[in-house]
Copies of this chain bind each other. A is one copy, B any other.
Amino acid sequence: MTTHEQHRVPVDTSAKPDILNRIAYNEGHLNGVRRMIEEDQYCVDALKQTYAVRRAIEKMEAMILEQHLQGCVVHGIKEGREDAVIGELIDLYELAGR
């Protein structure tokens, strides 16, 4: 997709299973919220669950970002591609804050 992909450093395989487990857990959690809404459970209880899902996604994002910083960012800067790598980080930061 992007030109940076060609320079992509393989994700540290030790963290990948943990990240995948977290995504699967979040999918299951969202599925549970769907059932709460279907069964007309109390909206406040449903909201508390969606807040928990969002927090869990944020935790997962922190793990992916950490990998990215330690891998692609460090390698990219050492290879002299700092403008591309830092520009991408700044775009991400803006996207994260909406």
Contacts and interface: CB of A to CB of B under 8 A. Distances in A.
Given A54-B58, A57-B53, A92-B47, A23 B27 contact: no
B24 A95 contact: no
Interface residues of A, number: 64
Contacts of A95: 48, 51
Contacts of A47: 61, 64-65, 68, 92, 96
Interface of A: 1-2, 4-5, 8, 10-11, 16, 19-20, 23-24, 26-27, 30-31, 33-34, 37-38, 40-48, 50-51, 53-55, 57-58, 60-62, 64-74, 77-78, 82, 86, 88-90, 92-98
Copies of chain A in the complex: 4
Given A34-B24, A78-B77, A42 B1 contact: yes
